């Protein structure tokens, strides 16, 4: 099983049904060092699924005071691939460590992640 952190539209029942064909169960957790922002989605299929043109997006800050609450879902490898298909180019999937000490995948801002990688 894979673990996937959701802080936005993947928490919506209709998005889960459309993307995975089922409702997910998970545990609340907090991601540290990221701030919540928004991105305008131009992919009509994604907007139709979520019902929203503005989606939340995580931007890396590295500041431990920046924290985002969400839910970590247990999903299959196949469902993780389906989540990859749902997310648009503005997002990149990264492995992250949470307040609980657990590790999970999270979709974050591709632009800030690329900038962070160039500094490391």
pLDDT in tens, the chain (120 residues): 999 999 988 999 999 999 999 999 999 999 999 999 998 888 888 878 888 888 889 999 999 999 999 999 999 999 999 999 988 889 999 999 999 999 999 999 998 888 777 776
Considering its fold, how many domains does the chain have in total? Answer: 1
Whether residue 120 lies inside any domain: the answer is no
Domain encompassing residue 8: 2-113
Whether residue 119 lies inside any domain: the answer is no
Which tokens belong to 81? 């691939």
**What whole-number distance in Å separates Cα of residue 55 and Cα of residue 69?**
15
pTM over 0.75: yes
Domain with residue 78: its CATH number is: 3.10.490.10
The arrangement of strands across the sheet holding 2-6 comes to 26-32, 67-75, 2-6, 103-109, 91-97
Strand pairing report for 67-75 and 26-32: antiparallel
Whether residue 118 lies inside any domain: the answer is no
CB atoms closer than 10 angstroms to residue 48: 9
């Amino acid at each position: 099983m894979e673990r996937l952190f959701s802080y936005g539209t993947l928490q919506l029942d209709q998005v889960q049904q459309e993307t995975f064909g089922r409702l997910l169960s998970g545990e609340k957790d907090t991601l540290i060092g990221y701030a919540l922002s928004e991105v305008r989605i131009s992919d009509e299929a994604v907007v139709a699924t979520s019902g929203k043109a503005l989606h939340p997006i995580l931007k890396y800050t590295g500041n431990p005071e920046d924290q985002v609450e969400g839910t970590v879902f247990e999903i299959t490898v196949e469902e993780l691939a389906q989540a990859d298909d749902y997310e648009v180019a503005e997002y990149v999937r990264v492995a992250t460590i949470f307040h609980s000490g657990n590790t999970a995948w999270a979709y974050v801002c591709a632009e800030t992640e690329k900038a962070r990688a160039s500094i490391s």
